[in-house]
Amino acid sequence: MTIGLLKEPEGEHRVALLPESVKSLISLEVNVWVESQAGNHAFVSDTDFEKSGAKISQREEVLKADLILGINPPTSTELETLKAEQVLVCVFQPLSNKDLVERFLKLGITSFSMDNVPRTTRAQAMDILSSMATVAGYKAVLMAASHSPRFFPMFMTAAGSIIPSKVLVLGAGVAGLQAIATARRLGAVVEAFDVRAAAEEEVKSLGAKFIKVEGAKDEATAGGYAVEQSEEYKAKQQALIQEHAKKSNIIICTAQIPGRKAPLLITKETVAEMVPGSVIIDLAASSGGNCELTQDNQTINSNGVSIIGNSNLPSTMPLDASKMYGKNMVNFLKLIIGEFGALNLNWDDDIVFNTCVTHQGSIQSERVKSILFPSNPV
């Protein structure tokens, strides 16, 4: 089998595999074609890939590989050139990209979306969402610190004392927990909110205060993801968050619900009451943002408050982010590479079955099927 590694589009600096991951795949008796200059933004040259055993090819040839890898899917025009027997493995957010899923169904190709890997213990080594969220949470705090006019830690100087910054983290998933840990390392006073009761212990273990809103809907059946809450709960949640937000110098927004618009947690009225010089980093910008004023991929200023919408911070740390992504990818590919490097789609494996979105004109993932096609199973 031949595996093709695509160069990412403009603006994306990561690459789906580094040479060390290519070497691991070649040990499984597959051939790897790498698009020329695929690793340039991650500080990896074509020569580095060649030394790992890969063949450097032009994009047209890579798109003919048996299995095509990337972070982003190929362009619309390129998709039309794919054959039904080809396999595509990338991240295309199927729960919020129904048109693309329907296109894959029409083309008949087998598609795997790595953001659809189940949240199970066995799948942790393949969990790209968690890996990239770690990068995003860390970088969000550094970005906030660089934009803030205040120190993060307390300072005792001859010129007097400087009080520490107050950081509020909304959402205590992987990104939120990493943001808490990073802000605490920098010396800030940190508070955090999450609808999941299980997050309280983790937040407190990192030295932050947990903001608790009573009456949250149980998330036990949601596979580790947050769930949509009642209107009554949302009202109580927003009132409590606004109270804490007004006193914060930094707010890191990470709250998202798969397949839905990001919950609105910071209103424009709250922003108006924040201290000038405060900074909001909204990692949920691409799905609407947790702040009412957020604009995706833009930095705006409202009454002296900087609101930075960026849902792709991992791209700003391309070397380590690519390393983590590549290791997750190799661990997944080992499940579908069989003897002598042949493709082996074992549908009895729950990870393979649930990560696969489309196969031979049908939806595989039960999660995708239930959310995108609830009344008309495909």
Residues 6+ apart with CB under 8 A from 337: 1, 25, 28, 30, 343, 344
- Collapsing DSSP states into helix, strand and coil, what is residue 362? strand
- Tokens found for residue 285: 């910008």
Contact at 8 Å (CB) between 354 and 346? no
- Tokens found for residue 378: 């495909």
Is 260 assigned a catalytic role?
no
Is 119 assigned a catalytic role?
yes
Active-site annotation holder among 24, 52, 111, 130: 130
Is 127 assigned a catalytic role?
yes
- d(CA 140, CA 284) in angstroms, rounded, equals 12
Active-site annotation holder among 37, 124, 205, 370: 124
Q: What number of residues does the chain have? A: 378
Contact at 8 Å (CB) between 109 and 358? yes
Contact at 8 Å (CB) between 77 and 52? no
Query: What amino acid is encoded at 268 in this protein?
Result: K
Is 130 assigned a catalytic role?
yes
DSSP 253: E
- d(CA 120, CA 127) in angstroms, rounded, equals 9
Active-site annotation holder among 27, 119, 122, 298: 119
Is 233 assigned a catalytic role?
no
Helices 19-26 and 318-336, packing angle to 10 deg: 10
Active-site annotation holder among 52, 127, 178, 237: 127
* Phi, psi torsion values for 51, nearest 5 degrees: -65, -25
Give the bridge partners for 33, in sequence order: 4, 55
How big is the CA angle at 283 (ends 10 and 318), to the nearest 5 degrees? 40
Active-site annotation holder among 93, 150, 185, 225: 225
By annotation, the residues acting in catalysis are 119, 124, 127, 130, 225
